[in-house]
Amino acid sequence: MLLNNGPTAASEREAACRWFLAGRVPNAERSTIEELLTGSSRDARTRILGIAGWPAAHSRSPFLFNRLFARYGLDYHYTWFEDSSIETIMRVARDIDAKGLSVTIPFKQDVMVHLDRIDRAAQQIGAVNTVVFSCGIARGFNTDWIGIEKPLAAYRGKRAVLLGAGGVAAAAAFALADLGMEVTILNRTYEKAVQLAERFSCQAKPWDTFDTLEPDLVVNATSLGMQPDTQSPLRAEQLKKEMTVFDLVYTPPLTPLLSAAQKAGCTTIPGTEVFLYQAKDQFRLFFGIDVPDTTIREILS
């Protein structure tokens, strides 16, 4: 049985179902998706959400969101939208009347042309990680910056060094600027640091000036230390116990930088905090529910 949206919508749904079942979701997930989209006992009120990425298999969002649905008694299912084309993913999501998407690498910029509205923060950052479908309209948001800002609430007005000038660094620069911090951006490719600094009224300096800066806070937004890489962006002797070190890399949870920072006596914040708070805000955007931090920590532990 197909959804009751007329013959055209029905054939689109069939195609969308075939897309899901063509090896794009884990085996254990296939019968669930088939039942939800075409099963005889399906309930038209059950709606689907998912993580759009290529690859997306690594994401912990399906695990977290499906447990939150069970906890709150919500009739939704969260799955994987894994494909090399964001255009295809957006078409499938619309065809099955999906409730929303989390968006990850490499689609955070490319998804923007497929949206009807984009919120102010996402526009300024230049990336969308959350899509909410409502009344036929696709709205884009960015919750990465909230995931970065929330753990830093006590650092308002402090002096920060941001390492990196790529995609996540833009969300970090937005968050640090929003907290009124004095931000200096260092990046391997200096010109990119200059361009990012101009967008968020920060300073850019060459990478080797770090030792002259004496920051209260260091945020690593480079990919150094992300598995399988084992490098730290800073040497042990550059870390002082007065510094707080926030590593946005979260695989592994204890990165080489965080490990060195702990040995130096620094306060440390792991990148897993970003996932927690960005997911919490996505849930609020999808359902209007403010999940307690403790509930998310308990599910992820």
Q: Could you give the residue numbers annotated as active site?
A: 108
User: Which residues are CB-contacts of 240 (< 8 A; sequence separation ≥ 6)?
Assistant: 214, 264, 266
50-62 burial string, b = 16+ CB within 10 Å, else e? bbbbbebeebebb
Residue type for position 182: E
- Interface with ligand NAP in residues 246-265 (CB under 6 A): 248-250
* Binding of ligand NAP by 5 (CB under 6 A): no
Residues 105, 111, 116: CA angle, nearest 5 degrees: 155
Place of tokens 């990425």: 53
* Binding of ligand NAP by 169 (CB under 6 A): yes
Q: Which helix (H) or strand (E) holds 251?
A: none
* Binding of ligand NAP by 224 (CB under 6 A): yes
* Binding of ligand NAP by 174 (CB under 6 A): no
Given candidates 222, 232, 244, 282, which one binds ligand NAP under the rule CB under 6 A? 222
Given candidates 50, 53, 62, 271, which one binds ligand NAP under the rule CB under 6 A? 271
Residue type for position 40: S
* Binding of ligand NAP by 166 (CB under 6 A): yes
Which span (60-68, 69-77, 93-101, 217-225) binds ligand NAP, by CB under 6 A?
A: 217-225
Q: Which two tokens stand for residue 46?
A: 């059950």
* Binding of ligand NAP by 168 (CB under 6 A): yes
User: Rule CB under 6 A: which residues touch ligand NAP?
Assistant: 144, 147, 164-169, 187-189, 192, 221-224, 226, 248-250, 271, 274-275
